[in-house]
Every structure is written in structure tokens, then in C-alpha cells.
């Protein structure tokens, strides 16, 4: 058993100061220390997959990151681990607890995941070792983790057992949001296609802004119209664009614009609460809503009744804009880069895509490094 600071001190000295995750009782001493100490930034995520995406955004903005979760939540993290961190080669130090571990009499819901935790990490090619439980093991364990992350640019995991870290108190106040957001209508009644909306977006987006486009045809259309250093096409990890945008926005002064889809936004709707809670004022979240999963053949998405602008404001965004035409969309974009956010711009668009649709020809890992260079220069 080690004190939290004995592990966190060397970790911070190695540059890791951005933490995110979802708690587990085994993690309590470590998370409590991180939350209580101003030397660290901790973002409480609504799901583990979202936390992985937040950490990835923070890495793109130049941070070294730590992701913490219960092994139950490893299932939620598998999608971004495999379709975000892996293709984009984005490392994070994962601390995963081992409920249902060997020889442990644990609750039935932890038995199966407990039995497969190391194997699951092996299958998704996340190298791992046990969390250091003795003072003399800490430095070797951190060396092993940083060696792997520096060499293969992928996540590395410590598997933590019950009682590895001594109890610690929570001294921080709860997150407080003192805002009453506003929903505004910018309606023209002339619903554009996604490609027309993206063309207009490209004509007004500040050249200083980082732009993250969601998976599917949104990123493909954006790339086909213009490939810029300020773009990141999130080719996989459906639903993670907003969380990645949050991770970037909390660690840069630049404006951060997320181009989301209605289906993708719904897949990780909890991210809106996290964005509202941490409220980065430089973040603009655009939901391009065609009411369908257009990229996979136009099947109906369950977004028909969702008022995304109102949901954003209900979650703590400063402004929500309802738009159904190009001029209102442009006005909302202009207004959102002038005023403190976060903002949610909900634009109704028509299903369908452009005729000669391309797809990013730059490798995701190169896009990630180009984007990181753009953000940090
Ligand atoms: C986790 C996951 N589930 C499903 C898919 C397949 N998929 C790729 S794009 C897409 C549709 C996305 O819909 P939306 O966000 O509304 O954007 P649109 O395609 O309508 O522009 C789906 C279902 C995926 N890539 N990842």
C-alpha cells in the first residue's frame, strides 16, 4: 500500500497533470488526491469512452494525460481505444481497477470482467502491468509505462487492486455552474445540405480555430472541400468528437469548433453535461442534424424529437442556437466566436452527400500530429 502522493508526485514530475475518468471505489484515494490538489486538472466524465476522448483532446493540445476507470468501464472505453487512440496513435496512461480479480470474492457483476481484464487489454493491444503497491516499485513502473507510450504512442495501463493506495480525503468543492443559458432562434426555413453548410462554415471559421469533424461523411466532405492544418477528421470513435473538443478547449486559448452529427451526438449525449459543467468559453459545438444515419445509408436516427440547442443549454452551455438555413447558421457562427461559450448550434440539414465524395488520404496518426502542431504553435 502506498500513499497517493508517492505515486502522483513522480507522475507530475514526468509531466502528467491532466486527469479524467469515472470513479471506482478502489480508485477513491487517488482520485480524491487529484481532485483536491491544484497541481492537477481533473475532469469528471459522464462515461469512460468519453473520458478517453477527453484525454485524447488534451493530448492534442499538448498535455500528458491519465485516464482512470473501473474495469467495468473498460468495456465503454474499448471503442475509442480501438478506433481513436490506435489509428491516431494517441497515448494515455490508463489506471484500471481490478474488481473481480484473482482470488477475490466480489459481486457477481464483476466476476466475468474480472476474469478477462488482462486478456481484454491484450486483445486491444494495450500493454499493462500491475499498479505499484510498494514505494520501491513506483519508479520502475512509471519508467515501464513511459517507455511503452513513448515507443508505440499507444495507451499503457496499470491494473490496480483493492488497497493499493492508502485512504485520502476529498477536500475540493463540487463543480458549480452559475449560468442561465439562452436559446435563440436563427431560422430562415431553407434547409441546406451538409456540403453547403460546410462550405459556409469554411468561409467564416477563424483561421486560429481548431476544427474537429465527426466520423462518417461529415469529415469526408470537409476533407473533400478543403484539407487544412486546423482540421482533425475523427474517422472512428463515433460520438467522441464533442468530448475530444472539450479536452482540447480546456487546454488551449484557441477557439475550438466541433462538427457533430445528430446520431453521433446522441451516442454520447452525456458529453453535453460534461461540457456544460466545465464550460470552456472557447468551444462551439455544431450539430448537423439530418435526422438520419446518413453515412451508413440514411436509416432514421432517434433524433426526431431532440431540441439539441435546448439540451445544450439545459446541460450548462451558455447559448443554444436553433438554425434551419445558411444565413442563420452563419449568424450563429459569427455570434458564437464573439461571445463566451460554450455554444451549441443546432442546424437542420438535408440528408444526402456530395457526388464526388473523397475520404482523408492523410493517415490518422499524421493528422493527429499535424493538428497537435497547429494547436500548440
Ligand atoms: C460505435 C460506432 N457505431 C456505428 C458506426 C457506424 N457509423 C459510422 S457513421 C454512422 C452514422 C453517423 O450518423 P450521424 O452522426 O447522424 O451523421 P451523418 O452520417 O448523418 O452525417 C454510423 C452509424 C461507427 N463508426 N461506430
Work out the pLDDT band at 102, boundaries 50, 70, 90. very high
- DSSP state for residue 125 in the 8-state scheme: T
Angle between helices 28-36 and 4-13 (to 10 degrees): 60
CB contact at 8 A, 363 and 55 = no
Work out the pLDDT band at 185, boundaries 50, 70, 90. very high
Residue nearest to ligand 1 atom 2, measured at CA: 238
Neighbours of 9 (CB within 10 A): 13
**Measured distance CA(34)–CA(41) in Å, rounded:** 7
In this structure, the strands spanning 128-130 and 93-97 are unpaired
Residue nearest to ligand 1 atom 6, measured at CA: 296
Work out the pLDDT band at 172, boundaries 50, 70, 90. confident
Q: Ligand 1, residues 223, 293, 299: which to mutate, most atoms within 8 A of Cβ?
A: 293
Work out the pLDDT band at 46, boundaries 50, 70, 90. very high
Indicate whether residue 364 lines ligand 1 (CB < 6 A): no
Q: Ligand 1, residues 52, 195, 216: which to mutate, most atoms within 8 A of Cβ?
A: 216
Q: How confident is the model over 69-98, as pLDDT tens digits?
A: 999 999 999 999 999 999 999 999 999 999
Cα(111) to ligand 1 centroid in Å equals 32
Closest ligand 1 atom to Cα of 265: 15
Cα(183) to ligand 1 centroid in Å equals 27
Angle between helices 194-204 and 217-225 (to 10 degrees): 50
Residue nearest to ligand 1 atom 17, measured at CA: 261
C-alpha distances in Å from residue 244, one per residue of 160, 215, 218, 251? 26, 12, 16, 11
Strands lying side by side in the sheet with 210-213? 182-186, 319-323, 343-348, 283-289, 256-261, 210-213, 231-233
Indicate whether residue 252 lines ligand 1 (CB < 6 A): no
Work out the pLDDT band at 275, boundaries 50, 70, 90. very high
CATH number of the domain at 182-376, please?
A: 3.40.50.970
CATH superfamily of the domain spanning 4-160: Thiamin diphosphate (ThDP)-binding fold, Pyr/PP domains (3.40.50.970)
Indicate whether residue 84 lines ligand 1 (CB < 6 A): no
Q: Ligand 1, residues 263, 268, 292: which to mutate, most atoms within 8 A of Cβ?
A: 263
3-state DSSP helix/strand/coil % of the chain, to nearest 5:
45, 20, 35
Q: How confident is the model over 280-303, as pLDDT tens digits?
A: 999 999 999 999 999 999 999 999
What sign does the CA torsion over 127, 132, 133, 137 have? positive
Closest ligand 1 atom to Cα of 260: 15
pLDDT exceeds 80 at position 179: no
Cα(290) to ligand 1 centroid in Å equals 12
Indicate whether residue 296 lines ligand 1 (CB < 6 A): yes
Q: How confident is the model over 113-167, as pLDDT tens digits?
A: 999 999 999 999 999 999 999 999 999 999 999 999 999 999 999 999 999 988 8
Q: What is the mean pLDDT of residues 263-274?
A: 98
Residue 178: predicted pLDDT: 64
Indicate whether residue 368 lines ligand 1 (CB < 6 A): no
In this structure, the strands spanning 16-21 and 64-69 are parallel
Closest ligand 1 atom to Cα of 290: 20
What residues does each domain of the chain span? Answer: 4-160, 182-376
pTM of the shown model: 0.98
Q: How confident is the model over 348-371, as pLDDT tens digits?
A: 999 999 999 999 999 999 999 999
**Cα–Cα nearest to 33, from 8, 70, 60, 58:** 8
CB contact at 8 A, 82 and 134 = no
Work out the pLDDT band at 168, boundaries 50, 70, 90. confident
Q: Do domains 4-160 and 182-376 have the same CATH topology?
A: yes
**Mean pLDDT, the chain, whole residue set:** 96
**Cα–Cα nearest to 82, from 159, 157, 160, 154:** 154
Residue 141: predicted pLDDT: 97
Residue nearest to ligand 1 atom 13, measured at CA: 293
Amino acid at each position: 500500500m502506498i500513499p497517493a502522493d508517492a505515486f502522483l508526485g513522480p507522475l507530475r514530475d514526468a509531466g502528467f497533470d491532466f486527469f479524467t475518468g469515472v470513479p471506482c471505489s478502489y480508485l477513491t484515494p487517488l482520485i480524491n488526491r487529484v481532485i483536491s490538489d491544484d497541481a492537477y486538472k481533473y475532469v469528471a466524465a459522464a462515461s469512460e469512452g468519453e473520458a478517453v476522448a477527453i484525454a485524447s483532446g488534451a493530448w492534442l493540445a499538448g498535455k500528458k494525460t491519465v485516464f482512470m476507470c473501473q474495469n467495468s468501464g473498460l468495456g465503454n472505453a474499448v471503442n475509442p481505444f480501438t478506433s481513436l487512440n490506435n489509428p491516431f496513435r494517441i497515448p494515455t496512461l490508463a489506471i484500471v481497477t481490478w474488481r473481480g480479480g484473482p482470488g477475490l470474492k466480489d459481486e457477481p457483476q464483476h466476476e466475468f470482467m474480472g476474469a478477462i481484464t488482462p486478456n481484454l487489454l491484450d486483445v486491444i493491444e494495450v500493454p499493462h502491468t500491475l499498479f505499484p503497491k510498494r514505494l520501491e516499485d513506483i519508479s520502475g513502473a512509471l519508467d515501464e509505462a513511459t517507455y511503452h507510450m513513448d515507443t508505440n504512442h499507444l495507451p499503457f495501463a496499470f491494473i490496480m487492486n483493492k488497497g493499493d493506495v492508502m485512504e485520502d480525503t476529498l477536500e475540493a468543492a463540487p463543480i458549480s455552474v452559475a449560468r442561465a443559458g439562452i436559446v435563440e432562434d436563427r431560422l430562415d426555413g431553407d434547409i441546406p445540405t451538409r456540403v453547403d453548410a460546410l462550405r459556409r462554415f469554411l468561409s467564416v471559421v477563424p483561421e486560429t480555430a481548431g476544427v474537429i469533424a465527426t466520423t462518417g461523411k461529415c469529415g469526408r466532405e470537409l476533407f473533400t472541400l478543403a484539407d487544412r492544418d486546423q482540421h482533425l477528421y475523427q474517422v472512428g470513435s463515433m460520438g467522441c468528437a464533442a468530448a475530444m473538443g472539450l479536452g482540447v478547449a480546456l487546454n488551449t486559448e484557441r477557439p475550438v469548433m466541433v462538427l457533430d452529427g445528430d446520431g453521433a451526438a446522441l451516442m454520447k449525449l452525456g458529453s453535453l453535461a460534461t461540457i456544460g459543467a466545465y464550460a470552456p468559453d472557447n468551444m462551439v459545438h455544431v450539430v448537423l442534424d439530418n435526422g438520419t444515419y446518413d453515412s451508413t445509408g440514411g436509416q432514421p436516427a432517434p433524433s426526431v424529437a431532440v431540441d439539441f440547442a435546448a439540451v445544450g443549454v439545459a446541460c450548462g452551455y451558455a447559448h443554444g442556437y436553433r438554425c434551419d438555413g445558411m444565413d442563420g447558421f452563419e449568424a450563429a457562427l459569427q455570434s458564437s466566436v464573439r461571445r463566451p461559450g460554450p455554444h451549441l448550434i443546432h442546424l437542420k440539414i438535408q440528408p444526402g452527400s456530395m457526388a464526388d465524395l473523397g475520404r482523408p488520404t492523410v493517415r490518422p496518426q499524421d493528422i493527429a500530429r499535424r493538428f497537435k502542431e497547429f494547436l500548440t504553435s
